[in-house]
Chain A
Amino acid sequence: EVQLLESGGGLVQPGGSLRLSCAASGFTFSTYAMSWVRQAPGKGLEWVSGISGTGGSTYYADSVKGRFTISRDNSKNMMYLQMNSLRAEHTAVYYCAKAGVGVADGNFDYWGQGTLVTVSS
């Protein structure tokens, strides 16, 4: 059974940093691209960042480019999102999502339960 478990969310002050983690199980992790998708309170879905199966290619939304860094450790079946210089508008539930079906790496067939990041003083 595919499982994705996010951790690392919490309350952080503006300007602070946070690292989110996603623990994957139930599939051959290194074979699949992965992404982070966020949802601000009461709002819609926003793709944040993606990474290829090998980790050799990374992709970012313009809104986080230069501020967030995605990475993965295939030996540990883990994906990470390092978030720096956080602002109130980064407050959201952050989901870890697995790509899998069809040819596009943005087809997310499994999602974690999400971890809440709150940026506030």
Chain B
Amino acid sequence: DIQMTQSPSSLPASVGDRVTITCRASQSISSYLNWYQQKPGKAPKLLIYAASSLQSGVPSRFSGSGSGTDFTLTISSLQPEDFATYYCQQTYSTPWTFGQGTKVEIK
């Protein structure tokens, strides 16, 4: 199975900050990488697919980059509604696996 490792696990930040979350795959996954946002008690929401494509309706302050084994999710200017947990997910091969999550919390 492909292991996905996110860093950091927790990220204290303030409104307006530029935030970067990293995801590393245990083997090359080309660009088969998605990012999801999850708020407490809610289902995850797809933000970015294929490493850098913005899902319809997602604000442009979210962006993704990377290929192969190293990927990043960037929030250019953190908004109050962005405090949540973020997960990366590989879809290169089944079982599709998720990272352990990064909780973006108020500093």
Contact surface of A with B, Cβ cutoff 8 Å: 35, 37, 44-47, 50, 59-62, 95, 101-102, 104-109, 111-114
Extra contacts, 8 of them, besides A45-B101, A60-B95, A101-B55 (Cβ < 8 A), are A37-B44, A45-B44, A95-B43, A104-B50, A107-B34, A107-B50, A108-B34, A108-B36
The answer to whether the Cβ of B99 comes within 8 Å of any Cβ in the partner chain is yes
Q: In the complex, what residues of B have CB within 8 A of residue A46's CB?
A: 98
User: In the complex, A114 Cα to B38 Cα: how many Å?
Assistant: 13
Instruction: Report 5 cross-chain contacts, Cβ distance below 8 Å, ordered by A residue.
Output: A47-B96, A50-B96, A102-B50, A108-B46, A109-B55
Contact surface of B with A, Cβ cutoff 8 Å: 1, 32, 34, 36, 38, 43-46, 49-50, 53, 55-56, 87, 89, 91, 94-101
Q: Is the CB of B46 within 8 A of A109?
A: yes
Q: Is the CB of B95 within 8 A of A62?
A: yes
User: In the complex, A61 Cα to B89 Cα: how many Å?
Assistant: 14
Taking chain B's interface residues, is the majority helix, strand, or loop, or is none over half, making it mixed?
loop
Q: In the complex, what residues of A have CB within 8 A of residue B101's CB?
A: 44-45
Chain B min CB distance to A102 (Å): 5
* Residue in B1, B44, B56, B97 whose beta carbon sits within 8 Å of that of A108 in the complex: B44
9 shortest A-B CB distances, which residue pairs?
A106-B91, A104-B91, A111-B43, A106-B96, A45-B98, A47-B96, A61-B95, A59-B94, A44-B101
Q: Is the CB of A112 within 8 A of B49?
A: no
Using known A-B contacts A50-B94, A62-B95, A111-B43, determine if residue A44 contacts B50 with beta carbons closer than 8 Å.
no
Q: In the complex, what residues of A have CB within 8 A of residue B43's CB?
A: 95, 111-114
User: In the complex, A49 Cα to B98 Cα: how many Å?
Assistant: 14
Q: In the complex, what residues of B have CB within 8 A of residue A44's CB?
A: 87, 98-101
Q: In the complex, what residues of B have CB within 8 A of residue A101's CB?
A: 46, 49, 53, 55-56
Using known A-B contacts A104-B91, A105-B91, A109-B55, determine if residue A47 contacts B98 with beta carbons closer than 8 Å.
yes
* Nearest B residue to A109, CB-CB: B46
Chain A min CB distance to B36 (Å): 8
Using known A-B contacts A45-B98, A47-B95, determine if residue A62 contacts B32 with beta carbons closer than 8 Å.
no
Q: In the complex, what residues of A have CB within 8 A of residue B44's CB?
A: 37, 45, 95, 108, 111
